Amino acid sequence: MAERRNFVLLKNGKDTDSVFTGASPRQAALKAANRGNKSIELRERGTKKVHIFTGSRNEVAAPANRPDWMPAKIWKPNVKKTGIKKL
């Protein structure tokens, strides 16, 4: 299994309190997009890289085999990587 990495969400070039964890930057960006962020800049902790994404989320029908506690409509995030910036 791939090692988990931490990514800090940047707003206006400054760190926020939001930290997303994932094996890849895309996985962390999907989590950020699911919270409603559209312009996503994630600084990878321990490196000088900032991963830049554009994100959106759409409300879709839940899968047919969903558990009882899951609502009929769920949010599905989408992200597109637009580049990497070095600090």
Contact in structure between 27 and 5 (CB atoms under 8 Å): no
Closest CA to 36 of 78, 72, 5: 78
Q: What is the pLDDT of residue 80?
A: 97
pLDDT digits (tens, 9 = 90+) for 57-87: 999 999 999 999 999 999 999 999 999 999 8
To which H or E segment does residue 53 belong?
Answer: strand 49-61
Report all structural domains of the chain as residue ranges with CATH numbers, in order of start. Answer: 5-86 (3.10.470)
Decide if 84 contacts 52 (C-beta within 8 A): yes
| pTM summary value | 0.89
Q: Tally the C-alpha atoms within 13 A of residue 74's C-alpha that lie toward its C-beta.
A: 11
Q: Quick one: tokens of 3? A: 């090692």
The reported pLDDT for the residue numbered 14 is 87
For residue 1, pLDDT over 70 is answered with no
